[in-house]
Homo-oligomer: A and B are copies of this chain.
């Protein structure tokens, strides 16, 4: 390569324009550097996914619902800016809690946690919640579990879809689970036992001997089939953890069970982790290309930072592009 091959486009210093829209700001941030540029690229890639008939998976980890991201997720589900959600159990549990009309509270990380314990307040960094209200949500889920058929297994998708429908009747407002149930957006939870949902069902089992059974392996098969049937796929990772790995591995499973798959075509991660610790949560999409999880020529970006900053701005900018996605062809799933 020659020098001019490397120097094709100058950095354009960001100009403050009074009243600029979020989409205009993000468009111009493509010409700056570091994570500001990456945030802009994430927005551009998401638009491309929406225009290219990709099946869009979103992986959700971290305490995003307590942090106030729930209605953004509802917006993404309702407007079909995503097609499948894979989540930690905690975010879904907190969604149940809020849909039942309860709150998380503005708190502080500088508190006496022993005093909070005595007052029945649970802390999530700078956010509080009332312990006994969580117990009520546990009870709600246990009651729902009681209504299920213990002679068969449920995929987490079916379990969560049924829970969403029930909650649609009982809840005080729309939530992630209710909207997904209504819109037919599947939700998977690969470690469902590892959350208050698991706790609620363990109580049900311990106290009443009634055990809800999950079809863990069918979750794996179904998501691999979704990838096989897709024209192409896009992935968005809010945090890492189980949801990221679960969506990444769909490509591996799909290739083994006979799909002609070549890795996800579009990939975004919003992460506070770093590659040098060696874990999956912080690893680059380049690393994922060696595994065949991400396509060789994928459009991909990692945005380092907190999703509570990135998501409000990206989603707001997407909302300004309704003409791109309002008539989007939505993938149909065969389950």
A residues within 8 Å of B by Cβ? 1-3, 6-22, 25, 29, 31-37, 39, 61-63, 65-72, 75, 90, 98, 103-107, 109-111, 113-117, 119-128, 130-131, 135, 138, 153, 190-196, 198-199, 201-203, 205-207, 211-221, 224, 239, 241-242, 245-246, 249, 252-253, 256-257, 272-281, 283, 286-287, 289-292, 296, 302, 304-306, 308-313, 315-316, 319-320, 322
Bound-state CA distance A135–B7 (Å) is 18
Rounded to whole Å, the gap between the CB of A200 and the closest CB of chain B is: 9
Rounded to whole Å, the gap between the CB of A335 and the closest CB of chain B is: 14
Partner of A193, one of B111, B219, B322: B219
Q: Is the CB of A253 within 8 A of B199?
A: yes
Known pairs A33-B125, A202-B257 / 13 extra A-B pairs, C-beta < 8 Å: A7-B121, A7-B128, A9-B106, A11-B66, A16-B312, A33-B66, A33-B124, A114-B296, A194-B246, A198-B249, A203-B253, A274-B276, A278-B306
Question: Which B residues are in CB contact (< 8 Å) with A11?
Answer: 66-68, 103-106, 127
Partner of A33, one of B126, B286, B319: B126
Q: Is the CB of B104 within 8 A of A10?
A: yes
Q: Is the CB of A35 within 8 A of B277?
A: yes
Q: Is the CB of B63 within 8 A of A109?
A: no
**Which interface residue of A18, A120, A315 has the most chain B CB atoms within 10 A?**
A18
Bound-state CA distance A68–B126 (Å) is 32
Rounded to whole Å, the gap between the CB of A78 and the closest CB of chain B is: 10
Partner of A15, one of B71, B107, B193, B195: B71
| With known contacts A11-B106, A71-B16, A106-B10, A194–B3 Cβ distance under 8 A | no
Bound-state CA distance A16–B190 (Å) is 28
Bound-state CA distance A181–B242 (Å) is 26
Minimum CB distance partner of A216 in chain B: B193
Rounded to whole Å, the gap between the CB of A30 and the closest CB of chain B is: 9
Question: Which B residues are in CB contact (< 8 Å) with A153?
Answer: 213
Rounded to whole Å, the gap between the CB of A298 and the closest CB of chain B is: 10
